[in-house]
């Protein structure tokens, strides 16, 4: 039986990881049960699956095999992340590519609610803002579903990003050739404002979104034809040089049926033209809203670089969506953790501190397990001699 000191070591050894994973624990108890599809029992439970995938993204492993080796050999990973004997390669990849999507979707949606309740809401004066964009993922030739062009395979994620809370809100996965505009309808809810770039410019969509009470702030091409209904007054000291209520497009060909507002403004040497149905905001506020669209680009860059979400460990469309959702879940956990522990946004500095803490916890667990009677606590050299 372990003495009191060893119990203290074990408790302290798990502290920071437990803090990080705490929001997930609240969700898992109500998550739909993952059932075996036949008489054979599951080789990997959903808890094993999601814990392994979060650990994969958190520790920046470069492959599934690297993860599995750690889950088999590393004391902390065996003790906390997965089964004590590790996870077999065949069981892991079979699970990733064929099960858990319903459960991961549930966990992601519940964590998103938690995060929106915990994280401070910014830009409330602009309403509920959602940046929308797509991002390509390099695929391999055996991923036949990921059509892009001859000799090249790519998948594409379409993401809605909650600009008020700085968290991803919705995600869809398609082949790389897939058009981006249709996903605005699926990402944007009535009352929200989609903040989108020129690739989403569509006069028919501008009319339809207004009919559906979905708002938009969309950059348009400089040469877009504008029939002015009413010109708004311009502040001479403003970055704004154009503000008018217009019909966009050519009459009888592609002209909007509903009036839209077009704002033109200059940042440095670059002119921006933005179409919107937000008549309630000033022209300067419209410019400020569109500037926030850069937040989704920052998210994509950080997500790819630091959570290794585009290091593909699944080749089926199902499996890649499982991996993407696990990456989003990891990001949400980090967002909650960084806010609660440091009152900060997610940063690589805080993620690295968490990684270091987990490494230290791993050493404590190894130290603890090296002698069940506690002699390792009295002889510090075991910590270094056996690692």
Q: Residue 386's pLDDT is what?
A: 35
Mean pLDDT value across residues 219-248: 96
Weakest mean pLDDT among 6-15, 58-67, 193-202, 319-328: 6-15
Q: Phi then psi for 87, rounded to 5 degrees?
A: -125, 130
* Closest to 130 in 3D by CA, of 57, 200, 68, 79: 200
Q: What percent of the chain has pLDDT over 90?
A: 65
pLDDT tens digits, residue range 94-116? 889 999 999 999 999 999 999 99
Q: Residue 367's pLDDT is what?
A: 58
pLDDT tens digits, residue range 283-292? 999 999 999 9
pLDDT tens digits, residue range 146-182? 999 888 999 999 999 999 999 999 999 999 999 999 9
pLDDT at residue 8 above 70? no
Q: Residue 102's pLDDT is what?
A: 96
**Whole-number Å distance between alpha carbons of 312 and 302:** 17
Domain extents in the chain: 4-105+312-385, 198-284
Q: For residue 357, what are the contacts with CB-CB under 8 A and spacing of at least 6?
A: 16, 17
Which token pair is 64?
Answer: 């599934």
User: 84 pLDDT band (50/70/90 cuts)?
Assistant: low
* Residue given tokens 């040469």 in the structure block: 223
pTM: 0.88
**Whole-number Å distance between alpha carbons of 322 and 98:** 9
pLDDT tens digits, residue range 301-346? 998 888 877 788 888 999 999 999 999 999 999 999 999 999 999 9
């Amino acid at each position: 039986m372990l003495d009191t000191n060893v119990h203290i070591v074990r408790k302290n050894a798990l502290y920071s990881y437990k803090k990080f994973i705490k929001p997930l624990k609240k969700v898992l108890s109500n998550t739909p049960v993952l059932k075996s599809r036949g008489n054979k029992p599951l080789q990997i439970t959903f808890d094993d699956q999601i814990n392994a995938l979060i650990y994969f993204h958190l520790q920046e492993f470069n492959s599934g095999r690297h993860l599995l080796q750690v889950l088999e050999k590393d004391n902390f990973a065996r003790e906390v992340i997965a089964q004590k004997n590790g996870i077999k390669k065949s069981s892991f990849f079979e699970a990733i590519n064929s099960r858990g999507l319903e459960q991961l979707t549930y966990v992601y949606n519940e964590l998103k609610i938690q995060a929106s309740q915990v994280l401070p809401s910014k830009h409330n004066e602009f309403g509920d803002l959602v940046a929308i964009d797509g991002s390509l993922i390099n695929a391999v030739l055996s991923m036949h579903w990921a059509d892009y062009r001859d000799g090249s395979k790519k998948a594409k994620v379409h993401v809605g990003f909650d600009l008020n809370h700085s968290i991803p809100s919705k995600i869809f996965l398609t082949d790389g050739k897939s058009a981006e505009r249709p996903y605005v309808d699926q990402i944007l809810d009535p009352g929200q404002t989609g903040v989108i770039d020129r690739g989403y410019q569509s006069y028919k969509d501008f009319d339809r979104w207004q009919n559906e009470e979905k708002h938009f702030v969309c950059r348009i091409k400089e040469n877009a034809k504008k029939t002015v209904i009413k010109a708004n007054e311009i502040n001479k000291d403003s970055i704004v040089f154009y503000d008018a209520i217009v019909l966009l497009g050519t009459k009888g060909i592609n002209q909007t049926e509903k009036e839209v507002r077009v704002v033109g403004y200059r940042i440095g040497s670059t002119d921006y033209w933005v179409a919107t149905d937000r008549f309630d905001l000033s022209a300067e506020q419209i410019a400020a809203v569109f500037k926030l669209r850069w937040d989704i680009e920052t998210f994509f860059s950080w997500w790819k670089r630091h959570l290794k979400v585009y290091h593909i460990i699944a080749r089926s469309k199902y499996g890649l969506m499982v991996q993407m959702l696990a990456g989003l879940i990891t990001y949400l956990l980090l967002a909650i953790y960084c806010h609660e522990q440091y009152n900060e946004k997610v940063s690589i500095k805080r993620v690295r501190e968490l990684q270091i803490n987990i490494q230290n916890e791993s050493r404590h667990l190894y130290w603890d397990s090296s002698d069940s009677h506690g002699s390792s606590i009295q002889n510090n050299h075991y910590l270094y001699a056996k690692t």
